Amino acid sequence: MKTSLKKKNYSDEEMQQLTEQFAPLVKALAKRYEGRGAEYEDLVQEGYLALIKLAPRCTSSRVLPLFLKHQLPAKVRNAARRLRKRETIDLDQLIDAGMEPGVEMQLPGVADRILDVMEGDEKDILKMLAFGYLQKEIARKLGITQQAVSSRIGKIRKKTRNRME
């Protein structure tokens, strides 16, 4: 037997007051997750949307600040991830375009020099990182563990540091 959750109904004026009251929280969360796949303004908008959806779920206005403090960060973080995924280029799209791992892509000057010192799948990892892939996604695409990707990224960093000095 399902029990339905009671939702509090807010008037437009009350919702406007809530958005003004919690604007500092929304903006702080957008600032925290900015650069992780979405721009600040997009995350602020996502934060306000989440606030509008979450507020009615809390039946007590007395605990609403605590409820939002715990629920809103996850919503903004997930929005940043979702927006990041939308902007990244899928490796399969690169392969369809003839840019398989191991095939050279045209990259700006310094990137070409860095790629010259890379060996094996280090080039592929570096390219996927440049396109915004997470270590977990790179590991899945290359058929290796995330720890192996992390180790190779450490080697890449060491090589690039040595190359830049």
Topology of 12-87 in CATH? Rna Polymerase Sigma Factor; Chain: A (1.10.1740)
Query: Comparing C-alpha atoms, which of 122, 96, 88, 94 is closest to residue 106?
Result: 94
Listing DSSP states for 132-161 in one string gives T--HHHHHHHHTS-HHHHHHHHHHHHHHHH
Check: CB of residue 101 under 8 Å from CB of residue 142: yes
| For the chain, domain boundaries | 12-87, 91-164
Q: What is the pLDDT of residues 140-153, one digit of tens each?
A: 888 999 899 889 88
Q: What is the pTM of this model?
A: 0.51
Query: What digits encode the pLDDT tens for the residues 47-101?
Result: 999 998 898 888 888 899 999 999 999 998 888 877 776 554 454 555 454 444 4
The verdict on domain 91-164 having CATH code 1.10.3470 is: no
